[in-house]
Amino acid sequence: MKKIIISKLFLYRYRFIIGYILLGLAFISLLFTLPLFAQTGLSQAEMDSATASYRFRLSSPLSGDIVDMPYKVLQKLSIMVFGLTPYAIKLPSILVGLALGLLLILLLNRWFKSNVSLLSSCLVVLSTPFLFLAGNGTPLIMIVFWPTLLLWLGSKIQGEKRPKPMYSFLFAITMLFSIFTPYMIYFAAFCLVFVWLQPHLRFVIKSLPRLPFSIVSALIIAGMITLIINIVNQPGIISELLSSKNFEFGRFFTNIAIGITPVFLWDGSLESVFMTPLIGLPSLALALVGLFSTTKGFFASRNMIASLLFVFTILITGFNPDAIIFFILPLAILIAHGLKYLLEKWYGLFPENPYARIAAVIPLSILFAVILLPSLLQYVYGYRYNPSVASQFSSELKIIRKNLTNETLIVKNNYDFYKMIENSTDIKVVDAIKLTEEAPERLAVLNEAIEDKNYRLERIITSPMRENSAIIYLYTAKGE
């Protein structure tokens, strides 16, 4: 009987390629479909983001509108092409989330072995906080995207004896675009400090060819000059890039407390756009194991990065509590460290026993099931049925598009947002404060009934996701 050699089996030889293909298919499917039925509507932040993006013009940067410029361009194009729909508002984040997931996989694969990077990538990109971030139609995802891209490009520069100048150019251009995103100036400073603290990185920088290094430096200086000119013309920009609008330094530690609350709150009662807890107990335990495993080689570059990134997360959370979502990046690194430590310890117990290595599949499968399944169920059902979270999202836009055709929609709040619907429908939007003298024949009054003897109530449109289920009161002029 011919002896079976496991290493020559097709599934064994191509196990990592097959694994990454399955992960990619699952990730892409979830990313493009879950926002359709997981989240019940749009948050106020998403409405504000869509309004700001639609106002963006080619001349806007000249007038100082440079904050979150790349994301605004994407969102404006999406709304212009697909109209004002919840999916069009979320589509830029979905696309950026797709790129971010790929970058996380590439980054972990760069720093860890294939088995560790594949498993940790699954745990991160299929987690509740990542799926929410990729389905949230605000620029919040950019504060995770830029650092991940910079770290991956940095690893391509650091990991080579003779780094390719192309990666240096890409690193400089990325840093140039990133500084127009809030808090990324801090991350740029973080990168400079980290390079200064790391002897190996200092050596890599010194070994770069002079011409590419000079061009890279010129690009960064040009970006800083552009930023400074805009700040001089619009002083308010600096506060948006360094902190947030109307930020008060007295609230710094209060914001940190508000930001980290979703991480440790387990009863799901927090009224926030974040599902609690942000980190499941198994993932948290695995990250703590990873943190413990990095203590021996703390000053190794990738070990030190994870710890410093957590410090950076706390810093920017002090300016904006929603920035706590940045923890996804250091969490991914620590989870990979934790898996690496567990696998090494298991294989260390049975260095010559192939059956023990195969037996490790069973506890790993159980661990994955315990982490992934509750996380996916939490995202799908939590954002839809948890009253504390679902109340943060409005389904009004979806209901308006479904129930109205050529009526006149009278709105009291978010007038600029709903005004955009005129470009893709026959609905006319009127500000309740600026009603015209010519009374329309049919009025769709959003969230509030009117008392007018010239109209009769024809229909009330409701939503099952609200305490006050009435959303639209549809009136018809008497005599029609």
Q: For residue 76, what pLDDT is reported?
A: 92
Residue 161 confidence (pLDDT) = 63
Q: Do residue 270 and residue 300 come from a single domain?
A: yes
Say if residue 109 is in the same domain as residue 136. yes
What tokens appear for 9 in the block?
A: 């089996």
Assess if residue 11 is contained within a domain: no
Domain's final residue, options 355, 390, 425 = 390
Name the residue among 370, 402, 420, 422 with its Cα closest to residue 471. 402
Judgement on whether residues 318 and 197 belong to the same structural domain of the protein? yes
Domain end residue (candidates: 390, 419, 448): 390
Residue 1: what pLDDT?
43
On whether both 147 and 193 belong to a single domain, the answer is: yes
Clarify whether residues 351 and 377 are in a common domain. yes
Where does a domain end: 390, 422, 443? 390
Domain-located, residue 9:
no
CB atoms within 10 A of CB 53: 25
Could you tell me the residue range of the domain that residue 182 belongs to? 16-390
Instruction: Note down pLDDT in tens along the chain; length 480 residues.
Output: 445 555 555 555 666 677 777 777 777 777 777 777 666 788 888 999 999 888 888 776 666 677 888 899 899 999 998 888 888 899 999 999 888 988 888 888 888 887 788 788 888 888 888 888 888 889 989 999 999 998 888 888 766 666 676 777 788 788 888 888 888 888 888 777 777 776 766 776 676 667 767 777 777 777 777 777 777 777 777 777 777 666 677 778 888 888 888 887 776 667 778 887 888 788 888 888 888 877 765 555 666 777 788 888 888 888 888 888 888 888 888 888 888 888 787 777 766 666 666 677 777 778 778 888 888 888 888 888 887 888 788 888 888 888 888 888 888 888 889 888 888 888 888 887 776 555 567 888 887 777 777 788 888 888 776 666 778 888 888 765
Do residue 371 and residue 427 come from a single domain? no
CB 48 within 8 A of CB 70: no
Q: Is residue 400 part of a domain?
A: yes
Residues 282 and 428 occupy one common structural domain: no
In 3D space, the residue among 455, 423, 422 whose CA is nearest the CA of residue 439 turns out to be 455
Has residue 334 been placed in a domain?
yes
- Does one domain contain both 206 and 263? yes
Residue 153: its pLDDT value, please? 86
At position 188, the amino acid (one-letter code) is: A
Is the same domain home to 447 and 299? no
Q: Do both 341 and 404 map to the same domain? A: no
In a domain, 174, yes or no: yes
Tally the C-alpha atoms within 13 A of residue 338's C-alpha that lie toward its C-beta.
24
Give a yes or no: residue 21 inside a domain.
yes
Domain count, the chain: 2
Pairing mode, if any, of strands 408-411 and 442-446? Answer: parallel
- pLDDT reported for residue 330: 87
Residues 317 and 453 occupy one common structural domain:
no
Confirm whether 10 is domain-assigned.
Answer: no
Which pTM does this prediction carry?
A: 0.85
Q: What is the Cα–Cα distance from 125 to 140, expressed in whole angstroms?
A: 16
**Count of residues making up the chain:** 480
In a domain, 41, yes or no: yes
- For residue 24, what are its two tokens? 């990619």
Burial class (CB within 10 angstroms; exposed 0-12, middle 13-18, buried 19+) of 221: exposed
Residues 434 and 373 in one domain: no
Residues contacting residue 424 through CB under 8 Å, at least 6 positions apart: 82, 83, 84, 85
pLDDT confidence of residue 357: 65
